[in-house]
A and B are shown apart, each in its own frame.
Chain A
């Protein structure tokens, strides 16, 4: 038996060291990005041009990515957190500063996006923008107008005015299960500063949500895409690109469902997904090469034309589908952008107030 154990140990040790050798010698880059967020062509072309193989994994929430990063040793070379999460992860020491000398295409980036991102902290030292969008709401045109022909479809009244919302309760209403975005949304309806980190102001959002709570069927962050496309629900708060995805799915299925995305006139939350390199990235050089590749106007334009999200690359705009560039729901007008806000980064105790308030709203507990 001892002999066997020894053999097993030797075999295991050999396997480990061989794996180590493969991992460090292999010419790869491990990318961890949001699901449905790129045109595969961008990756294929990168490998063809540089010989670096891309191992591409996807996630569907910032929280999942953050848990992996905070546990350490994720093994990823490039990850794509949203700016408000990235700011805190930088504080936790997860990321390293980008080596700008390796990023020759950085001049293509859009200063409007960089300036907004700088509001979160020194994010531009650590990351470059991948894509950005807004948090608004989407609705099923037929079902809503049938129930309320003069519905205030451009306003947050659709979500927060009980007299309006109650009319749509029977056709199904979903709300994102994202407290850090949904509380600011209620504050902007109230006319309060949505970017506040003051717990007393944040608590004011509770009454706004509680008033419409009886009409909401579910708080969930991904089910609404399918449900909206299938006509199972008629109204939902959601992320711009997700609503466009539902729009496309309904069009593709030709089921008579017409979906509209709205950036409410009271202002909307703007979010930014940023490319960054963890401190313990095993393939630092390849990570920089990959980021530099995506900053080429042709590459990011290919991705944007495919996923229908705006990007932070100014030089790519002439290469975009004109219909997309001209759509104010994707690239809002300057006027609309002035009224937009970014979500703040809460410290631990404020975060707890936010989550607890949200739990009270959603479960009544």
Chain B
């Protein structure tokens, strides 16, 4: 009897801890943000109205306002910022996929004794702070930077290229920063692949490119999807990279959110911007979830 109870509590713990984690660190903060998005801004501590008003009656009256959401829909600035963020994130993810796939594939095909070292090289940049690595790109990309000095001394160009403070710099920054998140799931997937399938295809007269396209790519699809989501989702809400590397015309939702929260001190609109962003991201995540379930069954 005693043993049996122990098993039950152990199992409850195993299932319960992740749920507790999600409840405390995702659902609760989400509800707080949702609550603030339904309030109205005032000059006070905290700077928004409370949702529940306790009058004389036993029950509180609920004072919710959709004003912040309506405000966001009225002004094209927000929609343009969402679209431009999605565009920047999509292009960055695609480039990261091309580069990441090539790297993951070569690591998976490398001799076993090399793989550990190669993977180490992918992870190594994480030992330096993210912020410092983005700052380092300023030193590389700026007009008098390392890249321009190198290209001019090689005679490739005569006038320095303007890369710093443009969208191109943002793409470089995002692809560079999130590349390991693309490589690692792809590698985990490709490493397990049975390469004898490719040999069989070759024996049966299939050209290498076609074999890659009809065998390797479909088999590595879960890795591709996982890598794309790991890059795409943080890239959409990115603030630091466009702020430091991007120019003035680079409009991203992370910057708009900062502006609402800090410049306008409008916490409800800032929260509504975040909630809408979440709603936009939930759709592809659900799709991913569905496709994973399909893959398992």
Contact = CB atoms under 8 A, between A and B. Distances in A.
Interface of A: 1, 61, 63-64, 66-67, 69-72, 88, 91-94, 172, 179, 216-220, 223, 227, 230-232, 348, 351-352, 355-356, 358-359, 362-365
A228 to B, nearest CB: 13
Q: Count chain B CB atoms within 10 A of each CB in A219, A220, A352 and give the residue with the most.
A: A352
B46 A363 contact: no
14 contacts: A1-B9, A1-B13, A63-B263, A67-B262, A71-B45, A71-B46, A72-B45, A72-B46, A217-B248, A232-B142, A348-B43, A355-B264, A363-B77, A365-B251
B76 to A, nearest CB: 7
B222 interface: no
Contact of A352 (B248, B251, B264): B264
Interface string B105-117: 0000000000000
Nearest to B166: A217
Contacts of B243: 220
B92 interface: no
**Interface SS of chain A:** helix
B143 interface: yes
Interface in B75-117: 75-77, 80-81
A70 B263 contact: no
B266 A363 contact: no
Contacts of B13: 1
Nearest to B247: A218
Interface residues of B, number: 30
Contacts of B53: none
Contact of A92 (B43, B247, B251): B43
Q: Count chain A CB atoms within 10 A of each CB in B143, B251, B263 and give the residue with the most.
A: B263
B265 interface: yes
Given A88-B43, A92-B47, A363-B251, 8 more contacts: A72-B46, A92-B44, A179-B263, A216-B248, A232-B142, A355-B264, A362-B248, A365-B77
A1 B6 CA distance: 9
A348 B41 contact: yes
A217 B265 contact: no
The 9 A-B pairs with the shortest beta carbon distances in the complex, nearest first, are A63-B262, A72-B45, A92-B43, A70-B47, A1-B9, A355-B263, A363-B251, A365-B77, A362-B248
Contacts of A69: 45
Interface in B127-181: 142-144, 165
Contact of B265 (A1, A64, A70, A365): A70
Nearest to A90: B43
B144 A232 contact: yes
Contacts of A67: 261-262
A364 B84 CA distance: 13
